[in-house]
Structure 1
Amino acid sequence: MSTTTAEPLALPADPGRVRPRPDRRARRRPTWGRVLGWATLIVILLITLFPFYWMLRTAFSDNRALAAQSDNLLPADFTLDAFRRVFGLTTLEESLAQGGAGGRINFWLYLRNSVVVATSITLGQVFFSAMAAYAFARLRWPGRNTVFAVFLSSLMVPGIFTAIPNFVLIKELGLLNTFPGLILPTLFMTPFAIFFLRQFFLGIPRELEEAAMLDGASRARVFLRIILPMAGAPITTLAVLTYITAWNEYFWPLLVGQSDDVRVLTVALGIFRSQTPQGSPDWAGLMAATLVAALPIVLLFIALGKRIVSSIGFSGIK
């Protein structure tokens, strides 16, 4: 009597079994083009960041050792005396003994003035530009496209051309050496801000506005309760860009704000550099003040940099 052994049946492949993924390193093998691209990017990054590093190195150096160690990449005789001079923690005699120029800078007063001017310009410009952008994007009125083309053409006009008429106007109004004189020329709008927000407003569905107006909402209510909340990301981006521009402004505050009560930080740093009773500027103190003045803007841009790039790309600006 013979017996037969049944062969095991072949089981179907498990559909839930995860197949091994190919090694990413095998797919992304380094090529000469990729290596050259990364090397170029690193070189450009180093060239871009080197001035900031040199400013940092000078701020932590001793003024008396800077000339002797000008080719040293590390701080010359590392010290915090420059920051102490900037914050007013030293007397005139101590400043001169530390190698400083002996010039004075009321840092906290000028910082307050810069915050007041930049914040006021940002709030006013963003709000009024949003209203103008909404009018160009949603309201229908005769000559709308022509007026918008005129606004865009003003982008090609250099700011120096409008500085003198604005200065004469501010002088005739008696607003020299006042905060309104510093703020008014750029308070209401800029062509770029209107164009930036208009591009976003054009992408908002009209059905939302029509539904709200059918429920009895006015144009102002639609703008404040629907359009502005939906445009939170681009408005935040515009606010950051406007704040940075207002913070770094130098020429107009130099013309209008000669008094210490309204002098902004950028103008104060220029005056501090020109104060050279010992024959040379206080480079360490100047770089320390510049570093402290730029630090809030750098931190702001780092915190919101990704949102800025995303909003610019979404708005269609190339």
Structure 2
Amino acid sequence: MRAGRIVAWTVLGLAVLVTVFPFYWMVRTALTDAHHLFSDNFSLWPQHFTWANFKRVLGLSTFAEAQAAGGSGASLDFVLYLRNSVVYTAVVVAVQTLSCAMAGYALARLRFRGREVLFSAFVSALMVPPIFTLLPNFALVRNLGLLNTFAGLVAPILLMTPFTVFFLRQFFLSLPREVEEAAVIDGAGVWGVFWRVALPMSKGPLITIALINGVYAWKDYLWPLLVGQEEGSRVLTVALGVFLQQSPNARPDWTGLMAGSTLSVIPVLLLLLVFGKRLANSLNFTGIK
């Protein structure tokens, strides 16, 4: 191996280590007995291994058992908040991916007055930081009476996001027109060409953008914190913050928080394990037949 290749692999290994180590330390903390958390803080492996932190986060232990294990005794209805996060993420991903695909296809293929101006507006929206639209969206949702509802949670990002429209529009431009023209000759309309030709040829990019939007929606914290404060609409990220604030002890319940955070990451990891290969393959937009 040449010196340059050795240096490249070394830098890559260090980058992977820096990226993965915080996640490993989170799991390690979740598996450590709360009584010995700070005494074992220099050990890479928990010296006092326990499943008690996961049991009390999942509600499998009583209040007395949780405190005996070193926990704060704070409650966390993990199943309820997990369900809320799954519903929130699934609705956002499904509706947003389909609506942005239609918008991207229209901007790439349909001819209408003002198309370039509309596309320029979408591109310009990429330059606007999301924090600038947070308060106007909150005021609008509040005036509509949608606070603490799933409708209020998904309203600002349900239909379209500028990056998704831009991403899919660029891909639809690369599709061969001959296939669509053949479908038109066979009698397919605009909707038929989009639904039967363009979408099946776009599975890779659609899966890619669905995963990106899904991860973003799953880890979103600030907007759900403002809109979904009641238990019926509280997602898992917000619930973990509330769990930390509910600690009656002077010291935060770090082991319980890390156990809940570890469980919250598992659904995203499962998605990446299932669709990770397709995600990597979809980055190559060549070979379309």
Same fold (TM over 0.5): yes
1:48-127 paired onto structure 2 within 5 Å: 48-127=19-98
One-letter identity of the residue aligned with 1:111: L
1:280-295 paired onto structure 2 within 5 Å: 280-295=251-266
Deviations 1:209-240 (A, max 9, x none): 22222332221111111111111111111111
Q: Give the aligned partner of residue 46 of structure 1.
A: 17
SS of equivalent to 2:48:
coil
**How far has the Cα of 1:146 moved from its partner?**
1.8
- Aligned equivalents of 1:298 and 1:214: distance in 2? 44
Q: Give the aligned partner of residue 153 of structure 1.
A: 124
Q: Give the aligned partner of residue 312 of structure 1.
A: 283
**How far has the Cα of 1:119 moved from its partner?**
0.2
- Aligned equivalents of 1:38 and 1:212: distance in 2? 48
> Contact 1:128/1:188 (CA < 8 Å) preserved in 2?
yes
Distance 1:211 1:40, change over 3 A: closer
SS of equivalent to 1:112:
helix
Q: Report whether the alignment pairs 1:163 with 2:134.
A: yes
- Aligned equivalents of 2:188 and 2:139: distance in 1? 43
More deviation, 120-129/31-40: 31-40
Alpha-carbon RMSD: 1.4
SS of equivalent to 1:231:
helix
Q: Give the aligned partner of residue 140 of structure 1.
A: 111
One-letter identity of the residue aligned with 1:254: L
Q: Give the aligned partner of residue 10 of structure 1.
A: none
- Structure with greater Cα Rg: 1
One-letter identity of the residue aligned with 2:72: A
Q: Report whether the alignment pairs 1:131 with 2:102.
A: yes
- Aligned equivalents of 1:119 and 1:156: distance in 2? 27
Identify the match of residue 259 of structure 1 among 209, 230, 236. 230
> Contact 1:177/1:256 (CA < 8 Å) preserved in 2?
yes
Q: Report whether the alignment pairs 1:250 with 2:241.
A: no
SS of equivalent to 2:174:
coil
Q: Give the aligned partner of residue 210 of structure 2.
A: 239
TM-score norm. by structure 2 comes to 0.95
- Aligned equivalents of 1:186 and 1:312: distance in 2? 24
**How far has the Cα of 1:313 moved from its partner?**
4.5
Q: Give the aligned partner of residue 35 of structure 1.
A: 6
Q: Give the aligned partner of residue 185 of structure 1.
A: 156
Aligned residues: 286
SS of equivalent to 2:283:
helix
- Aligned equivalents of 2:258 and 2:49: distance in 1? 14
- Aligned equivalents of 2:2 and 2:237: distance in 1? 47
Q: Which has the higher helix share?
A: 2
SS of equivalent to 1:99:
coil
- Aligned equivalents of 1:300 and 1:162: distance in 2? 30
Structure 2: unaligned runs, 5 residues or longer: none
> Contact 1:134/1:201 (CA < 8 Å) preserved in 2?
yes
- Aligned equivalents of 2:41 and 2:204: distance in 1? 45
> Contact 1:272/1:286 (CA < 8 Å) preserved in 2?
yes
**How far has the Cα of 1:279 moved from its partner?**
1.2
One-letter identity of the residue aligned with 2:111: R
- Aligned equivalents of 2:249 and 2:156: distance in 1? 39
> Contact 1:66/1:76 (CA < 8 Å) preserved in 2?
no
> Contact 1:69/1:76 (CA < 8 Å) preserved in 2?
yes
Give the 4+ runs in structure 1 shifted more than 3 A: none
Q: Report whether the alignment pairs 1:276 with 2:231.
A: no
> Contact 1:102/1:278 (CA < 8 Å) preserved in 2?
no
- Aligned equivalents of 2:127 and 2:284: distance in 1? 22
- Aligned equivalents of 2:68 and 2:118: distance in 1? 61
One-letter identity of the residue aligned with 1:60: L
Identify the match of residue 299 of structure 1 among 270, 276, 284. 270
